[in-house]
């Protein structure tokens, strides 16, 4: 029992500053700095979103297959393609959809059937530019699911700039 009393007395007699310096270690200082920096990052105000200054304003338009055709990336034109009646501006993906890209045959066209079948064949594109739009008949559940996935991908990456209608509806 005397040992315990002696030990308590020794601890009580210690200098309080020695105890505090025990908490100030390099590791604790590093952890404190990391905590403060993380807190700062979480609560700092974010800068306002800036609109691109060099891009021309895009007006939502109604396209027919014939009026959509020039938007194929040639001659400095933007690259548009249609999926299930919605026209997407895919100019930022010009290396894929523009001239020389793997999907270039979809540029300026309705790409719905080709995307659904994962086919780049010219047979997948509408031949008669003045005829009715492709009603996507003959697509099975697997093709429709694939097309839906493509449409969601375009929706998340690219801006919708118009809708595609048949020549008679324009």
Q: How far apart are CA 132 and CA 139, in angstroms?
A: 17
pLDDT recorded at residue 119: 86
Euclidean distance between CA atoms 146 and 134, whole angstroms: 17
Q: Decide which of 48 and 161 is more confident.
A: 161
Q: What is the pLDDT of residue 107?
A: 92
Q: Are residues 153 and 106 in the same domain?
A: yes
pTM of this structure: 0.65
The answer on 156 and 72 residing in a single domain is yes
**Nearest-CA neighbor of 139 among 158, 120, 156, 124?**
124
Do 33 and 114 fall within a single domain?
no
- Which of 164, 165, 163, 161 is CA-nearest to residue 90? 161
Instruction: Tell me the C-alpha distance between 118 and 143, whole Å.
Output: 9
My answer on whether 143 and 116 are in the same domain is: yes
Our count of domains for the chain comes to 2
Q: What gap in Å lies between CA 106 and CA 83, rounded to an integer? A: 10
More confident position, 101 or 23: 101
Q: Give the lowest-confidence range in 78-87, 116-125, 147-156.
A: 116-125
The answer to whether residues 13 and 68 belong to one domain is no
* CATH number where 140 lies: 3.10.120.10
> How far apart, in whole angstroms, are the C-alpha atoms of residue 31 and residue 37?
10
Distance, in Å, from the CA atom of 155 to the CA atom of 29, rounded to the nearest integer, reads: 47
Distance of CA 102 to the CA centre of its chain: 20
In a domain, 161, yes or no: yes
Q: Are residues 85 and 31 in the same domain?
A: no
pLDDT score for 164:
94
**Residue 121: predicted pLDDT:** 83
DSSP secondary structure string, 63-80? E-HHHHTT-BSGGG--BE
Q: What secondary structure letter does DSSP report for 124?
A: G
83 within 8 A of 111, measured Cβ to Cβ: yes
Calpha distance 24→104 (Å, rounded)? 64
Distance CA 113, CA 135 (A): 9
pLDDT tens figures, 25-79: 889 899 999 999 999 988 888 777 766 666 566 778 999 999 999 999 999 899 9
Residue 4 has pLDDT above 80, yes or no: no
Q: Which residue range is the domain that position 39 belongs to?
A: 2-43
Over residues 105-147, the pLDDT tens digits come to 999 999 999 999 988 888 788 777 888 888 888 889 999 999 9
């Amino acid at each position: 029992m005397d040992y315990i009393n002696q030990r308590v007395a020794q601890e009580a007699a210690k200098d309080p500053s020695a105890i505090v310096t025990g908490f100030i270690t390099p590791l604790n200082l590093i952890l404190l700095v990391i905590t403060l920096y993380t807190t700062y990052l979480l609560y700092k105000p974010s800068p306002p979103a800036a609109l691109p200054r060099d891009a021309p304003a895009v007006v939502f338009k109604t396209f027919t297959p014939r009026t959509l055709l020039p938007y194929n990336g040639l001659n400095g034109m933007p690259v548009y393609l249609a999926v299930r009646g919605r026209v997407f501006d895919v100019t930022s993906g010009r290396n894929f959809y523009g001239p020389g890209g793997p999907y270039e045959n979809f540029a300026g066209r309705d790409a719905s059937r080709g995307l659904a079948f994962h086919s780049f064949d010219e047979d997948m594109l509408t031949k008669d530019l003045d005829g009715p739009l492709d009603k996507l008949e003959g697509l099975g559940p697997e093709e429709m699911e694939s097309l839906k996935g493509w449409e969601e991908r375009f929706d998340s990456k690219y801006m919708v700039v118009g809708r595609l209608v048949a020549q008679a509806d324009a």
